[in-house]
Amino acid sequence: YVKNTKEILDKASREGYAIGAFNFNNMEFLQAILEAAEEEKAPVIVATSEGAIKYIGKGDIETGAKLAVEMVRTYAEKLSVPVALHLDHGRDFRIIMTAIKAGYSSVMIDASHLPFEENLRETKKIVEIAHAVGISVEAELGKLKGIEDNVVEKESVLVDPEEAKIFVKETEVDFLAPAIGTSHGAFKFKGEAQLDFERLKKVKEYTQIPLVLHGASMVPQDVVKLANEYGAELSGAKGVPEDMLKKAIELGINKINTDTDLRITFVAYLRKVLSEDKSQIDPRKIFKPVFEHVKEIVKERIRIFGSSGKA
Ligand X SMILES: O=C(COP(=O)(O)O)N(O)CCCCO
Closer to Zn ion by Cβ: residue 202 or 214: 214
- Beta strands in 68-222, from DSSP E residues, in sequence order: 83-90, 106-109, 136-141, 146-148, 151-153, 175-178, 211-213
Residues 107-166 that bind Zn ion (CB under 5 A): none
Nearer Cβ to Zn ion (98/257)? 257
Pick one of 45, 69, 108, 237: the residue that binds Na ion (CB under 5 A): 108
Beta strands in the chain, from DSSP E residues, in sequence order: 19-23, 44-48, 83-90, 106-109, 136-141, 146-148, 151-153, 175-178, 211-213, 253-258
Nearest to 84 by CA among 28, 48, 27, 43: 43
Closest distance of CB 260 from ligand X, Å: 4
Task: Find the binding residues for Zn ion in span 42-71 (CB under 5 A).
Answer: none
Stretch that binds Na ion, among 106-114, 124-132, 274-282, 289-297 (CB under 5 A): 106-114
Q: Are 171 and 127 in contact (CB under 8 A)?
A: yes
d(CA 276, CA 274): 6
Q: Which is nearer to ligand X, 3 or 214 (CB)?
A: 214
Smallest gap from residue 239 Cβ to ligand X (A) = 7
Find the catalytic residue in 10, 88, 243, 277: 88
Nearer to Zn ion, 262 or 270 (CB): 262
Verify binding: residue 91, Zn ion, rule CB under 5 A: no
DSSP assignment string, 213-273: ESS-----HHHHHHHHHTT---TT-B---HHHHHHHHHTTEEEEEE-HHHHHHHHHHHHHH
108 binds, among ligand X, Na ion, Zn ion, none (CB under 5 to 8 A by kind): Na ion
Q: Give me the residues that bind ligand X (CB under 6 A), please.
A: 23, 49, 88-89, 184-185, 214-217, 257-260
Are 47 and 257 in contact by the 8 Å Cβ rule? The answer is yes
**Of 41 and 57, which has the nearer Cβ to ligand X?**
57
CB of 111 to ligand X, least distance (A): 15
Residue in 186, 201, 174 with CA at minimum distance from that of residue 45: 174
Q: How many helices (H) and strands (E) does the chain have?
A: 12, 10
Query: CA Rg, the chain, in Å?
Result: 18
Shortest Å, Cβ 148 to ligand X: 7
88 catalytically annotated:
yes
Q: How far is the CB of 54 from ligand X (least distance, A)?
A: 14
User: Please, which of residues 68-97 interact with Na ion by CB under 5 A?
Assistant: 88
x/- site string to Zn ion, residues 178 to 217, per CB under 5 A? ------------------------------------x---
> Which C-beta is closer to Zn ion: that of 136 or that of 257?
257
| Site for Zn ion, rule CB under 5 A | 214, 257
| Site for Na ion, rule CB under 5 A | 88, 108
Residues annotated catalytic, as ranges: 88
